[in-house]
Each structure stands twice: as C-alpha cells, then as structure tokens.
Chains A and B, each alone.
Chain A
Amino acid sequence: MPETPTALHDAEPRATAPAAPGAHRLALARLRDFALVPGIIAIAVVGQLVNPVFLQYDNLINILQTMSEIALLVLAQTMVLVVGKMDLSLESTFGLAPGVAAWLTVGGGHSLGLLPGWAAVLVVLAVGVLVGALNAVLIVRFGLSGFVVTLGMLIVLRGLLTGISGGQTFFGLPDGMLYLGTTLWAGVPASIWICVLLFAGGIVLLGYTRFGRSLYAIGGNPDAAKAAGIRTDRVVWIVLIGASVLAALGGLLLSGRLASVASGQGNGYIFTVFAAAVIGGVSLNGGRGTLFGAFTGILLLYMIQNVLTLAGVPAQWIGALNGTIILVALVMSRITSGKRQT
C-alpha cells in the first residue's frame, strides 16, 4: 500500500472537524447510564430529612431485600427488551414456578406431596425452562407476536397456579425452598447477594461478550445482525429461556422469604418491571439500554416507596403515589436523556 500515507494526509483535515462534537456526544452517552444517580442521591437526602431511620444500615438492607426478587424480573425483562422482544408472562412464572414446586413436595391440603423436599429447587428451575421454551416455540418457531403470546401465557400460568392451589396459599415449604430467602451470607441476606451478583454478571455478559453484544445487534437491526453471521433465532431462544429461569429464581427467593406461596404471587409486578426498565433507559423497541440503568430504575422506585412508608403515608394511597412516581420518573428521564422513549 504505497499510497496509504498520502491518503492519511488527505484524511487529516476532515478528521479534526467531526471529532470534537463526537467526543462531546460520547461523554453525554456515558452520562445517560448514570441519569438516575442524581435522583437516587436526592431521594436519599429527602428520605434522611423525612425520617433519620432512612439511611440506617437495617433500613437500607430492608430496601435491597424487598427489591431483590422483583429486580431479577427487571434483569430478565431488560435482556428480553434489548433483544427486541417482550415477555409479559414473567410475573406469572414468578408465582407458578415455586407454586408447582410446593404443590409437588408439600404434603396435605391441595398438595400432592409426590416428590422429596430436596427436589423442590430443581422443580422451580425446570418450570422456568419449560415456560421459556414454550414462549420461544410460539414466538420464534411459529412467528407469533411476542406481546400477545406472553399476554396469553401470563393468563394461563396465573390460572394454573390458582388451579393447583385452589386459590389458597401453600405453607410448610421444604427447607431447600426456604434457604435462599432466609439465610445470611456474611451478614447480608443471600437474596441481596444473588441479586447483585446476577446483575454484575449480566452487565459483563451484555457489555463484554459476543453473545451479549449480539443481543443489541438483533434488537437494533435484525437483518444486519443476520448479515454479520449471528444466529438470531438461537439467541432469542436462549434469552427467552434465561429470562423465565431468572423469573422462577426470583419467585423462589420471595417464597423463601415469606415461607409460603400465595396464589397471587407476582400478580401485577410486570407493570413495575416495565416502568423500572424504561425509567432506567431501556428501549421498548429493542437494541438500547443497559442493566446498570435498569438496576438504578428499580432501586429508585423502591427507595421512593420506602420514603413514603417512613413518612407515614397511609397504605391505601401508596398505589396512587406509586403510579404518579412512575410517570414523573418517566418525564424526568425523558428530560435528562434528551431522547424520545420508544
């Protein structure tokens, strides 16, 4: 390439012009990941002013533990959204998976008690795999609309849980199911560890592996992803199954913490999950968003909820305030990110 040096000289004057604004934009793009951090700090300050209990260790641990189960749903949904799909049925899997495990292992009442207690955790995860695979078959193999498939699945799975439980709550869960929800590791509840580690692992997966990057490629431009040699169908399969397994695991953590599986476990969670993801900068159209952003989204929502409780807001009003907070947070993140939310 004898000509290359001259070509480089040609290029130089052009290079300087776009580089400066480019670097500026890059800094902004980085900041977008941290868009909610000022909000989180502000809420912490407000919370401390409202009630000095807020920033105490026990309260912070309490916030993290109550959000750890739903945070796994946010983690799962974020990956599904990035790859350009949606999974509404996650909230039902969240209830059904531990429900089936309890049904099969607990004796008496509505339960069958067919399996020994140690098998419960395996059943939970197996239900997750099964639901995810079923979603994937319908969405990927038969090309059905992901929104409607998982909406149908949401209703079916919820109905299954109501059916097997007779609308009652399962009690007396085997020890294996209680372990993760009740144990402390190094003085911190195991569910917080699991949540934080899974998020950390997810951030590495999405940011630093070919597989993770292929999620963004598929969500952003499926044809271009295919042209780059990515097996798009297989990736979507893996993501849908992985998401359902995460939802099942989240359900297991909650069941363990409450030592029971209510027939309505997870009911209505999906709205909070979507709100957290969108506030955290994840696009509903696929291809955009980070797990760090999604984590700050769910953290912000739960901190606000905790502040409201500490401020003595009557429980009956929490729902209305929660909805308002989600809307306000959406407007705020629209302003800070400067991008149209889609």
Chain B
Amino acid sequence: MSTVPVVEAHQVCKRYGATVALDHADLTVLPGQTHALVGRNGAGKSTLVSVLTGLTGPDSGTVLFGGEPAPRAADRDAWRARVACVYQKSTIIPDLSVAENLFLNRQETRGGLLRWSAVRRAAEELLDRWSVAVDVRRPAGELSVEQRQFVEIARSLSFGARFVILDEPTAQLDGAAITRLFEHIAELQRQGVTFLFISHHLQEVYDICDTVTVYRDARHVLTAPVADLPRAGLVAAMTGEDTGSAAEARTTSARRGAPPVLRVRDLSLDPVYAGVSFDVAPGEIVGLAGAGGSGKTEVAETVVGLRKADAGTVHIGDRRIRPGDVPAALAAGVGFVPEDRHHQGFVPEMSIADNATMTVMDRLGPGIFVRSAERDRLAGTMITRLAVKTPGPELPVSALSGGNQQKVVLARALAGDPRLLVLITPTAGVDVRSKEFLLGKIAEAAEAGTAVLIASDELDDLRLCDRLVVLTHGRPATEFPAGWQDREVVAAMEGVDLDA
C-alpha cells in the first residue's frame, strides 16, 4: 500500500474574529486507514472538517491530497473527486427518489430528455457496487437515518473520492444500526476507502479505528495507533490533565431531609431515552451529564413539558405534572433555561424588560393588563441582580452580547422565584467572565433553597453539581457523588471503561 498520505493538513490556522478555531493544526491520514479525530466541544474538529472539504479556506497552512495541493475553493468538482463528507445534517432532497438524489443534475439524458430507466439502472449499479441495500425508487425522505448515510456515502464515492469524512455518524443511530454501519465501514475499507471518523463516543474509536488524532483547544495534541493508546491516556489527552483534579468543593446547600422538589420515575421516550429516575432535593444541584445524543437534553425538556414522555412520571412537589404541558410545569414552579437561547430563550426584538418578565406577566397588573411601571421595576431588580450590562430595561435583547443575553434568559427563569430551576447547557457560547457569573448566580439560587437540574456536557457547569447522573445512549449509566474527577466523568460520558 502506498505511503503517500491521502490527506495531509500542515500547520493550519483559522480565526473567526477573536476566536482561534485552529492553531497550527496538523493531520495526516494514510491510505486505507480508518482514522479517528476526537476532541471535546470547541476543540476545532468542525473547523478542520470544513477546511478539509474546501468549504472554508485556512488563514495559513497547507492542505495536500495525495501529495498534491488542494484545488481552488471554487472548483467544487475537484474537491468532490478528492474528499467526501457525510454530515450530521442531511444533504438529500426528501421528495425525490433515491436514484435521482444519487445522480442529481448529472442524470443521463438523450436529446435533452432524461432516461429514467438508465438513471435507475446506474443508481442500482452504484448501490450494488458499494453493497447498499436500498430500493432506488423510494423517495429519499422515507429512508432511515442509517440508509440515508449509506446512500450519501455511495453518492460521494461515485464522484471518485476514496477518502470519506464521517461527522458523528452514530449520533442518531441505535445500537444495531451502529453495528451495521461499522460492518459496512470495514467492508468499504477492504475495498480501499479511507475514513476520517469523528465521534464523541470513544468506545467506537476503539471498535473500528486504527489511528487516533486528538485535538484540544484548537491544537493538535497527539496522533497514535489506537492499539498503543490506553483509554485513560486518550481521555487525559482530551481533557488536558494527567492526574485529574477533584471537583472544586462547594459546600452543598442540599436539604437532604426535606421531601424532594423534583421526582422523576422511570421516564422513557422511545428511542431517545429510557428508564430514567432521579430526585432533586431543595437546595440541591443535580447534573444530568452526557455527550451529544445521549438524551440529557431531552430528559430536561421532558421535565419542563416541552416533550411528552411515553412512560413514567414527573412530580414537582406533590403535584404530578401532566406530560407535555408547559404551562402546568411553570405553574408548579419551574424556571427554565432552554438549550438554544436564540430559538427558545428570548424574543430578540423585544425589550429586556418584556423578555425578563415574560413568564410572570400575570403578576404585573390587574386582570389582563400589564402595568409597564410594575414591569420595569421588576425588570430593573433582575437587571441589578444579574448585573446585565445595559443602559436601561427598554433596550432590545438583540443589542446585547451573548453573555448578557444569557443573563436575560436566566433572569426570565428566576423572575417567578421558582422552586425548581432546569438549565440546559446554561453557559454555552458565553465568555469566561459571564460564565463564572452565571454559575455563581445558579449556586446562589440553590443556597436560597431552589432545586437545580443542569443538563450539560461542559465540565465547568457540572463542577457546580452536588451529584451527577451520567446518560449514555439514553440510559442512565453511572451516578457520581460530589468529589468526582474530571477524567471519570468524561470517560463515562464518552462511553469508555477506564479499567478495560
């Protein structure tokens, strides 16, 4: 087998404004390998993928394919002939047939008219050649995620590329489908296809990859044969600590004796999660940890009523909350910070005052009316309490920085003096200063007796917690009492057994 690397990225740098996404990063993938690229959120994996597929040009550094310089950015056909990428987001057109998706805009024609039979035959041959068992006449929208991925892989191979990037292909698949995907990857690998495999689940890296490259904080950390790298070493390379520091001691404010504020029993939502049970006591902070696709977000959303579980119960205080009923959950005393603040957190063109008091409008005046003086007074209190940097409560939220926007979202959650705070990745995308501040406010709320549930994979968020429930593939895997070590939690979230 030739030893000229299929792809070689050399000292690639990429900045987005003040953020350094890639800092002199290297990557070398040899032919026939299945090469894993791992790293925590923000390590630079996605940026590297878009540089390698020609969607983003690097600020400096070089990319070589088979020893030759990368094509010009505009030459999409040349890029497609060298590298293919199967993204998490689908690039198929759901109403068109599989055959048509495979040969879109390059269908065989005679005299300007399509020859459907020829297109179908070509599609069948293509799928047969790469052993993808899908009826080419079906609308592509009916395919399962797994079949769609196979179709997309086959399509990319038909452009001549023999180097395929799989961007978290297992995130939306169940166990059996993952096994089939891996069998397929192994088969294609025997036929000479090289893979770059990006995953959050380290166990999968050990299952199918030969070589692993670790990125951390936009830098290349190490590249090693998987067989030579023990699991503990891999986790250490990702987290950047050899020994693992203990979680900072926070004197817990949990009132253990008191009846729990939140009781979750046997909650299941097929196929996202199953059999989830836990309690949160007043003043206690419980972390719901897990990687992307582990179901942690969905469990938290079920607690506040955004999703309807198939089975199981959620009690807040003594009250059983009707599944899928957000107003009931809010009335029972839940404050909620959603995952994506831009979509669910606030109305960008409305003022800070309107946004911060949106959940408590019934307290702002008689009957159906809202007294603006009352609203501004309450909003003013929240602005002071959370130190939102703004000239006044009438400014639209869209004019604030990310950190301050998140403070408004937290203000909205706290405005009703909730008994239970549910927070999903509460510090995602905010600067370090605001992050510390937000976490401080959450701790403060807990000290005042509020029960807190944080769903996150950020260690900084989780360090606050008195207790962690770790989910993998929708099942509660491990529970950690306070005093856990970063590496244990990361290992549990990524689904590896450190002792193995």
Give the B-binding residues of A (Cβ under 8 A). Answer: 1, 3-4, 7-8, 10-12, 14-15, 18-19, 22-23, 25-26, 29, 204, 207-210, 213-214, 216-217, 220-221, 223-225, 227-230, 287-288
B105 and A229 form a contact (CB under 8 A): yes
B187 and A10 form a contact (CB under 8 A): yes
Which of the listed residues A12, A220, A221 has the most CB atoms from chain B within 10 Å of its own CB? Answer: A221
Chain B residues contacting A230 (CB-CB under 8 Å) are 104-105
Chain A residues contacting B105 (CB-CB under 8 Å) are 210, 213-214, 217, 225, 228-230
B176, chain A: closest CB distance, angstroms? 12
Q: Mark B419-448, 1 if CB is under 8 A from A, else 0.
A: 000000000000000000000000000000
B side interface size, CB within 8 A: 36
B85, chain A: closest CB distance, angstroms? 10
Chain B residues contacting A29 (CB-CB under 8 Å) are 139
A216 and B95 form a contact (CB under 8 A): yes
Chain A residues contacting B91 (CB-CB under 8 Å) are 221, 223-224, 227
A72 to B105, CA, bound (A): 27
B138 and A224 form a contact (CB under 8 A): no
Give the A-binding residues of B (Cβ under 8 A). Answer: 76-77, 91-96, 100, 104-107, 109, 112-114, 116, 128-135, 137-139, 142, 147, 180, 183, 187, 190-191
Q: Which 7 pairs show the lowest CB-CB distances between chains A and B?
A: A15-B133, A7-B131, A220-B93, A22-B135, A228-B104, A11-B131, A14-B133
A9, chain B: closest CB distance, angstroms? 9
A26 and B137 form a contact (CB under 8 A): yes
Please name 25 pairs of A and B residues whose Cβ atoms are closer than 8 Å in the assembled complex, sorted by A: A11-B128, A11-B132, A12-B133, A14-B133, A14-B180, A15-B133, A18-B135, A19-B135, A22-B142, A26-B135, A26-B138, A208-B113, A209-B109, A210-B109, A213-B104, A213-B107, A217-B105, A220-B96, A221-B91, A221-B94, A224-B92, A225-B93, A228-B104, A229-B76, A287-B95
14 more A-B contacts (CB under 8 A) besides A7-B187, A213-B107, A224-B104?
A7-B131, A10-B183, A29-B139, A213-B105, A216-B93, A216-B95, A217-B104, A220-B93, A220-B94, A224-B91, A227-B76, A228-B106, A287-B93, A287-B94
Interchain CB contact (< 8 A) of A22 among B106, B137, B180 = B137
Chain B, residue nearest A287 (CB): B95
A8 and B128 form a contact (CB under 8 A): yes
Interchain CB contact (< 8 A) of B114 among A1, A213, A224 = A213
Chain B, residue nearest A207 (CB): B114
Interchain CB contact (< 8 A) of B77 among A7, A11, A18, A229 = A229
Chain B residues contacting A23 (CB-CB under 8 Å) are 135, 137
B133 and A4 form a contact (CB under 8 A): no
Chain A residues contacting B94 (CB-CB under 8 Å) are 220-221, 287
**Count of A-B contacts with CB under 8 A?**
101
B93 and A224 form a contact (CB under 8 A): yes
Chain B residues contacting A1 (CB-CB under 8 Å) are 129, 191
A217 and B96 form a contact (CB under 8 A): yes
A4 and B137 form a contact (CB under 8 A): no
Interchain CB contact (< 8 A) of A208 among B114, B130, B147, B190 = B114
A3 and B109 form a contact (CB under 8 A): no
A209 and B113 form a contact (CB under 8 A): yes
Which of the listed residues A207, A208, A210, A287 has the most CB atoms from chain B within 10 Å of its own CB? Answer: A210
Chain B residues contacting A207 (CB-CB under 8 Å) are 114
A3 to B95, CA, bound (A): 34
Which of the listed residues A29, A224, A230, A288 has the most CB atoms from chain B within 10 Å of its own CB? Answer: A224
Chain A residues contacting B109 (CB-CB under 8 Å) are 209-210
A205, chain B: closest CB distance, angstroms? 10
A45, chain B: closest CB distance, angstroms? 33
A224 to B133, CA, bound (A): 23
B375, chain A: closest CB distance, angstroms? 33
Chain B, residue nearest A9 (CB): B131
A18 and B133 form a contact (CB under 8 A): yes
B107 and A210 form a contact (CB under 8 A): yes
Chain A residues contacting B76 (CB-CB under 8 Å) are 227, 229
Chain B residues contacting A220 (CB-CB under 8 Å) are 93-96
A223 to B112, CA, bound (A): 25
A204 to B114, CA, bound (A): 9
Chain B residues contacting A14 (CB-CB under 8 Å) are 133, 180
A1 to B162, CA, bound (A): 13
Chain B residues contacting A228 (CB-CB under 8 Å) are 104-106
Chain B residues contacting A210 (CB-CB under 8 Å) are 105, 107, 109, 114
